[in-house]
Amino acid sequence: MKLNRRLFLGTAAAATASLAAPMVMAASHGKPNVVVIGGGAGGATAARYIAKDSKGEINVTLIEPTRRYYTCFFSNLYLGGFREMESLGHGYGGMAAGGVNVVHDWAVGIDRDAKTVALAGGGSVPYDKLILSPGIDFVEGAVPGWSIAAQNAMPHAYKAGSQTELLKAQIMAMPEGGTFAMVAPPNPFRCPPGPYERISMVAHTLKENNPTAKILILDPKEKFSKQGLFEEGWANHYDGMIERIGPDFGGASVEVRPDSMEVVVDGEVEKVDVCNVIPAMKAGRICEMAGVTDGNWAPVNAADMSSKADADIHVLGDASSQGDMPKSGFSANSQAKVCANAVRGALTGSRVFPAKFSNTCWSLIDTDNGIKVGATYEATDEKIAKVDGFISATGEDAALRKATFEESVGWYSGITADMMG
C-alpha cells in the first residue's frame, strides 16, 4: 500500500515549495539529524514515522540496547497462559529496512550544548532534534528492603522479558495453597490497569494449577483503574482467592525481606511464596542525565511533546509528564505521531497539523472476558487535556466481552506493526 505516483509528485512539489521559506533548521551541513533514544512504543513509532514521512530528507538514528523488544503490554497475558513469550518479541529489522539507522547500544550521556549523544560503546552521535523515550526506571528505596539486587527473589516484571518469565516460573512452582503477594505501585505509574490485570491473570493460572492458593495485594492507593470492573470480575471468576489491603489497613506501609520471603505490613510479618514488587517509578534515567526532569518525570509542552527545559529535546511516553494521558503504550504511540509531525515540520518545513491524542487500555479478566477504557485528548497551553472518554460497563454480556478481547488482540497486532514496520 503506498501513495500513487501522481499524488506523490504533487506532495513532493508542495514540500519543495515550502522549503523555499527560511524554515530549515539543520545545525550542520547536509541533512538534519534526529536521534531517538529508546525503541519502545514511543521511540520506535517516532523513528519510523519520521524516516517514512521525510522520505530521506532526515537522518534518523534509533539507539536501543536490546536486539529484540518485548512489549510490556500483553505480558500479563503470558502470565495467564494466553500468550507465548515469543509472540511478544519484536525485532528491529523492519525498522532498519525502513531507513532508520538502528544502533544497539546504551546512550550514556547527552551534551545539550554540543548537541551530541554519547554511547556506552564509545563515540557519539550528533543531533538537531533529540527524542527521549526511555520508559521507566524504579525509584530507589521506594519499597524498604527491595533493590535491583533483590529482583530475582522478588521480581518486578514491569519491564517485559526475563523478569516476566521468572515471575511465571515462580507462580508455577508455588506450593499447594501458597500465597502470591503483590506490592502495588503508587501513582503515577506505567499502565494504570496493569497490576490489576496481572492479578486477574495470576488468578487464572492459579485457578487452573493451584486452586487453593491465595493472592494478596498490598496497595498504597485508595482507588485504582477500572476498579469496579476488576472487582466484579474477581468476584465472579476468582471468588475468595484475592484479598486487597489498601492504605487504610497498612497497604501504604510495606517492607519486604527477600531473603526470608516475608512481607511486613504495618508491622505484621507475613510469609509468602511469591512476591511481585512493583516499586514507585520515574522517568528512564537518561532523562535525568539530560537534565530535562523535574522531580521524577520530564515535563513537556502538549503541542509537540518538546521538553520544557530544551526546545530541541522531545520526551515521549511513560517518561514524560504531560497532563491527563495515562502512561501506556497506546499513549506513547499517539504522542510519537504528534511529535514526529512537529519535528519533521521544524527540520524540513513540512506542514504541521494540530495535535490530537488518544488512548485505549484493554485488560483481560479471564478467558474471553475483556474490558477497556479510553479517551481522546487535545493540547492546551498547560497540558494534554482530556476531551472525551468511555469505559466498559459492569454486567456486560459475554459476547461483548469476547468481542472486546478479540479487539484487543487486533489492536496488539496493529500497534506493533505500526511501531516496528
Footprint (CB under 8 A) of another protein, residues 317-336: 330, 333-334
E strand or H helix at 336, and its extent?
A: helix 329-348
- Select the residue interacting with another protein from 103, 372, 379, 384 (CB under 8 A): 372
Helix, strand or coil, per DSSP, at residue 265: strand
- The whole-angstrom separation of Cα 175 and Cα 266 is 26
- We find the least distance from the C-beta atom of residue 179 to another protein, in angstroms, to be 33
Q: Is 90 in the site for another protein (CB under 8 A)?
A: no
Question: Between residues 211 and 414, which has the closer beta carbon with respect to another protein?
Answer: 414
Are 61 and 36 in contact by the 8 Å Cβ rule? The answer is yes
Q: Tell me the CA distances in angstroms from 326 to 178, 319, 350, one per residue in order.
A: 34, 11, 30
Show the binding pattern over residues 25-54: x = contacts another protein (CB under 8 A), - = does not: ------------------------x-----
- We find the least distance from the C-beta atom of residue 389 to another protein, in angstroms, to be 7
Q: Near another protein by CB under 8 A, which window of 104-112, 173-181, 260-268, 374-382? A: 374-382
Q: Is 120 in the site for another protein (CB under 8 A)?
A: no
Collect all residues with Cβ–Cβ distance below 8 Å to 56 and sequence separation of at least 6: 99
Q: Is 387 in the site for another protein (CB under 8 A)?
A: yes
Q: Is 414 in the site for another protein (CB under 8 A)?
A: yes
Are 26 and 123 in contact by the 8 Å Cβ rule? The answer is no
DSSP line for 217-232: EE-S-S--TTHHHHHH
Q: Is 358 in the site for another protein (CB under 8 A)?
A: yes
Helix, strand or coil, per DSSP, at residue 120: coil
Q: Is 408 in the site for another protein (CB under 8 A)?
A: yes
- We find the least distance from the C-beta atom of residue 74 to another protein, in angstroms, to be 13
The β-bridge relationship of strands 268-271 and 262-265 is antiparallel
Footprint (CB under 8 A) of another protein, residues 2-21: 2-4, 7, 11, 14
Question: Between residues 56 and 354, which has the closer beta carbon with respect to another protein?
Answer: 354
Sign of the C-alpha dihedral computed for residues 328, 331, 337 and 340 taken in this order: negative
Are 404 and 372 in contact by the 8 Å Cβ rule? The answer is yes
The binding site for another protein (CB under 8 A) comprises 1-4, 7, 11, 14, 49, 330, 333-334, 337, 341, 351, 353, 356, 358, 360, 372, 374-376, 378, 387-390, 395-400, 403, 406-411, 413-415, 417-418
